[in-house]
Amino acid sequence: MQFQEVIKDRFSCRNYSGKEVSPETLRQIMEAVHLAPSACNRQPWRFIVISRPDDGEGRKAVIDSYNRQWIETAPVYIIACGLPGEAWVRPFDGKNHTDVDVSIAVEHLCLAATSLGLGTCWVCNFDPAVLRQGLGLGEELDPIAIIPLGYPAEGTVVPEKKRKDYSEIVVCR
């Protein structure tokens, strides 16, 4: 798939088929995360992969932290966690780049999945305390996003992209 096609085809999938994701495919996707850039190459992240049916307790933690029925259809959950203590901090204003770095890695994940015919969705509206407790995360790990992953259900179509006008987001000087 050409890159422009991949970015056009990537969407927030909220309905997955029952087809499992092979370990090889999952490895390819996570290799894209592994190759993602980060500020000063700190890589301040950990990605927790929960595959059905391997981890019933992990799946329960995700579902309990994000109470939307559609998420249960995804065969894989990937929990993107940041490590703020390991991230680069901009010296001029003290901005910690954990969220920026993790976001870059998550988008690599989503684009890699799309290129392989899988769907993903960024989920940030979850209860981090419930997820942290359910997964036994230490205080050093900050759960930033849940990425459900799987093959879109039959009949799923890529929705039309609704974006601001180009001139509203790009300023040339």
Residues 9-35: tens digit of each pLDDT? 999 999 999 899 999 999 999 999 999
CA distance 42 to 33: 13
Q: What is the pLDDT of residues 129-163, one digit of tens each?
A: 999 999 999 999 999 999 999 999 999 999 999 99
pLDDT range class, residue 1, cuts 50, 70, 90? low
Tokens read off for 119: 């769907």
- Among 27-31, 39-43, 57-61, the minimum mean pLDDT is found in 57-61
CA distance 125 to 20: 25
Q: Residues of the chain with pLDDT > 70: what percent?
A: 98
pLDDT, residue 53, reads: 67
Does the pLDDT at position 78 exceed 90? yes
Strand spans (E) along the chain: 45-51, 76-82, 119-120, 142-150
Sign of CA dihedral 115, 75, 125, 57: negative
Does the pLDDT at position 108 exceed 70? yes
Other CB atoms closer than 10 Å to residue 16's CB: what's the count? 25
Give pTM, 2 decimals.
Answer: 0.95
Q: Describe the strand order of the beta sheet including 142-150 as a list of residue ranges.
A: 45-51, 76-82, 142-150, 119-120
Does the pLDDT at position 56 exceed 90? no
Helix (H) or strand (E) segment spanning residue 166:
helix 166-169
Does the pLDDT at position 55 exceed 90? no
